[in-house]
Amino acid sequence: MKVAIVGAGAIGAYVGAALGRAGADVHLIARGPHLAAMRQHGVRVLSPRGDFTAHVHATDDPAEVGPVDHVFLGLKANSYAACGPLVEPLLTESTSVVAAQNGIPWWYFHGHGGPFDGRRIESVDPGGSVSAVLRPERAVGCVVYAATELAAPGVVRHLEGTRFSIGEPDRTLSRRCLDLSDAMRAGGLKCPVEPDLRNDIWIKLLGNISFNPISALTRATMREMCAHRSTRGVIETMMAETLAVARSLGCRPEISVERRLAGAERVGDHRTSTLQDLEKGKPLELDVLLAAVVELADATGTPVPTLRTVAAISDLLARGTAPAAAA
């Protein structure tokens, strides 16, 4: 199996290292000091499950790699529309694109069935710009339950979790998903093939849609948001509204607001990825987390007053980061 990791940051390099040590033909596409370190020393993984180093090919030129079986996208979702030059040299007609993104994916209604089948979500695929680069029929959904960070260039610190749930948008049990699952599990990761990955998407989104924008607006950690009674109440309401939207689309996420909050409290003084991006002057990945759910609420007639208010305020914050991100 030949796999290209496009955007081999903390999660991407971790997946690539795991696949590489299991014998897959892995190619990491990255840049800067991180790329230089991986070329020279391989990917070093520091993990409570045991440290290891994987020596796999790393480059900044996907043309060096050529066609692959799977493209694993480690990019932020707001980079997808512009990723064509990185992805196109890697594709054949049968190449899958495994998007390890948070939030609502651009392929959400591909193969969905029902009245919304094939509908484009403007918030995540504006004008069809993402679908033009990443055809929905290539998509293999992926929900990441692992936490990693770059401790140094070429060094990934694995914090917790090894689960990468995958699945086809049309809910079929495909050969490509089964093969990828086998390769991921051979590398020491959990990789269940879910019959309907959309339920996993909503479970993960419950935390991202609430904690991520609130943390950026307040600069608070997970523990601080859970401990502050009024803020916790806002988060509970956002989660409840999100579950209502999911149910309006026929999904039944098997998790309660109380259980999701308890899991967040256990994380402790962790800064969300959105807060980290804000502190670094990077664009905020809020459209797929928040604006998309408000758009889906409008489509289904589901009241989401708190989500709508937080979306408006955080959108203003996101617009304010744009000049720094472009500099």
Last residue of a domain, one of 122, 157, 186: 186
Each residue of 34-75: pLDDT tens digit? 999 999 999 999 999 999 999 999 999 999 999 999 999 999
Q: Please indicate, yes or no, whether residues 63 and 91 belong to a single structural domain of this protein.
A: yes
How much is the mean pLDDT over the chain?
A: 94
220 and 135, same domain (yes or no): no
Is the domain of 254 the same as that of 181?
Answer: no
Task: Match 């390099």 to its residue by tokens.
Answer: 13
The reply to whether 193 falls in a domain is no
What mean pLDDT is predicted for residues 250-277? Answer: 88
For 152, the 3-state DSSP assignment is: strand
Residues 138 and 218 occupy one common structural domain: no
Are residues 169 and 105 located together in one domain of the fold? yes
Rounded Cα distance, 303 and 238, in Å: 11
Amino acid at 80: Y
115 and 233 share one domain: no
Query: Does the residue 277 lie in any domain?
Result: yes
Q: Is the pLDDT of residue 322 over 70?
A: no
DSSP 176-242: HHHHHHHHHHHTT-B--B-S-THHHHHHHHHHHHHHHHHHHHH---HHHHHHSHHHHHHHHHHHHHH
Question: Does residue 52 sit in the same domain as residue 73?
Answer: yes
Task: Tell me which long-range contacts 142-147 makes (C-beta under 8 A, separation of at least 24).
Answer: 142/72, 142/98, 142/99, 142/100, 142/101, 142/166, 142/197, 143/197, 143/200, 143/201, 143/203, 143/204, 144/11, 144/100, 144/102, 144/204, 145/204, 146/11, 146/14, 146/189
Range of the domain at 108: 2-186
pLDDT band at 263 (very low <50, low <70, confident <90, very high): confident
pLDDT tens-digit series, residues 200-231:
999 999 999 999 999 999 999 999 999 999 99
Q: What is the mean pLDDT of residues 122-148?
A: 96
- pLDDT more than 70, % of the chain: 98
The verdict on residue 327 lying in a domain is no
pLDDT at 324: 42
Residues 144, 170, single domain; the answer is: yes
Which percentage of the chain shows pLDDT scores above 90? 88
Answer yes or no: is pLDDT of 270 > 90.
no
Which tokens sit at 63?
């043309």
Determine, yes or no, domain membership for 134.
yes
Cβ atoms of 90 and 62 closer than 8 Å = yes
CATH of the domain at 105: 3.40.50.720
pLDDT for 307: 98
Same domain, 142 and 31: yes
Residue 5 is inside which H or E element, if any? Answer: strand 2-6
Mean pLDDT computed over 286-310: 97
DSSP classification of residue 287: I
Indicate the pLDDT class of residue 132, thresholds 50, 70 and 90.
very high
Cβ contact 168:140 at 8 Å? yes
pLDDT at 260: 87
Structural domain contains residue 138: yes
Kindly state whether residues 129 and 238 are assigned to the same domain.
no
258 shares a domain with 208? yes
In the prediction, which pLDDT does 226 show? 94
The number of domains in the chain is 2
Q: Which residues are catalytic?
A: 204
Same domain, 116 and 262: no
d(CA 215, CA 204): 16
Give residue 267's pLDDT.
Answer: 79
Q: Give residue 212's pLDDT.
A: 96
